[in-house]
Amino acid sequence: MTDLFWAGDERAGSAMSQTSFLSAMVRVEEAWLAGLVTVGIAPNAAKADLAGLVEPADADRVAAASEAGGNPVLPLVSLLRNRITQSNADAARWLHRGLTSQDVVDTALMLCLREALDGIDAELTVQVTALSRLADAHRSTVMAGRTLTQHAVPITFGLKAVGWLVGVLDAADALAGTRPALAVQVGGAAGTSAATTELARGAGLHDPAAAAVELADGLATTLGLAPRPPWHTSRRPVTVVGDALVTATDAWGRIASDVATLGRPEIGEVVEPAVAGRGGSSTMPQKQNPVLSVLVRRAAITTPALAATLHTAAALAVDERPDGPWHAEWATLRTLARRAVVAGSQTTELVSGLRVNSDRMAETVARAHDALVAEQRSISGEGAGTDPMTYLGAADHVIDAVLSRAHTHPGTAP
């Protein structure tokens, strides 16, 4: 995918794309059909390979027919039935039986989100390694600490890097916390699985309700998702993912903001990685714009509002099935997830290739010496010697503590 409105969107690849969503819905229908056979509700002949019945071009066809029913499941099921009736009448008859459209959409969204989260998690792991190395390499690189835009006290660039690292580690923890929420949705019309239970009764199963639960749990196992009671109007699985994505873009935005500021020509303490053709201006040949930082900041600015939409939808999910709030989630999740995937990739490139100008940092410290040691003088006395190198407090201990935490992050290189 590409998007003229969102530069760099192609970095997200197929994550949360129309074709991925279509494919995920078909996977849900196919796994459910197989489950009906497994528990003994449908005959063996009803099992079928549905993936081969659709192609990427069908996404537009299904989308165009979605307005009539308010969601894409109805036209998808109709398309699948039309294409399989001649070759497998049993599969056509049993397709989608016991499910409702929300079951299919929600479960498919969880599959798509898992793919996006896997990609972001991989980016975070690379970032942890890159930032750990920056912090360790520059634990003695003194620079001016700044508060409220003004020179404050001396710090080291290593300390700044572990500040970035903490945000990335927190984001990784938040992402890990989403895994139990990536769950199947199986509840039928109103969350009772009444249709599935009735189908099991009609098939002569001893305990129809237990068979319905077994079928739902089996779907979770087949798709690699967590089992969960129906959550048609309990939208925590959606909001917890949204919150984790924003935790990540918050962390990346903080890094990008610092890099953009420290990269100003009058400061010049860090420089984005150079790539031919990137950062130029259409009219000013001298410009080398910090494009990665700008684009990451763009994501950090826009994603919180998307998560807020998910929370608003969750709060307004009424009755046993929502009337509009559920529908508001799909495109919101797509946009939020894709923007996070793009920003994650851009941040990885940013921190992995960041150039640190330690000489410029030293020049700034020398130039701002009196301001940077003012607090030291006020505490030690006017006659005391003042040296920025001796006023770093517990910076090394902070760096060590954060690096120790980073070393426990799965997949992080030493």
Residue type present at position 411: G
In whole angstroms, give the CA distance from residue 158 to residue 139.
4
Q: Count CA atoms within 13 Å of residue 119 on its CB side.
A: 22
Q: Are 355 and 271 in contact (CB under 8 A)?
A: yes
One-letter amino acid for residue 76 of the chain: L
Is position 282 annotated as part of the catalytic site?
no
Query: CA distances (Å), 10 to each of 35, 65, 114, 194, 296, in order?
Result: 36, 27, 19, 43, 15
Gap between the terminal Cα atoms of the chain: 35
Angle between helices 236-262 and 101-137 (to 10 degrees): 30
> What is the secondary structure of 162-192 as a DSSP string?
HHHHHHHHHHHHHHHTTGGG-B----TTTSS
CB atoms within 10 A of CB 385: 9
Burial 54-72 (b: 16+ CB within 10 A, else e): beeebbeebeeeeeeeebb
Catalytic residue among 87, 234, 281, 378: 281
Catalytic one of 321, 360, 377, 405: 321
CA–CA distance, 361 with 267 (Å, rounded to integer): 8
Active site (annotated) includes residue 321: yes
Largest CA distance in the chain: 95
Name residues whose C-beta falls within 8 Å of residue 153's C-beta, 6 or more positions apart in sequence: 145, 372, 373, 375, 376, 391
CB 58 within 8 A of CB 95: no
Asked whether the beta carbons of 338 and 12 are under 8 A apart, the reply is yes
Q: In this structure, which amino acid lies at residue 172?
A: A
Residues designated catalytic: 281, 321
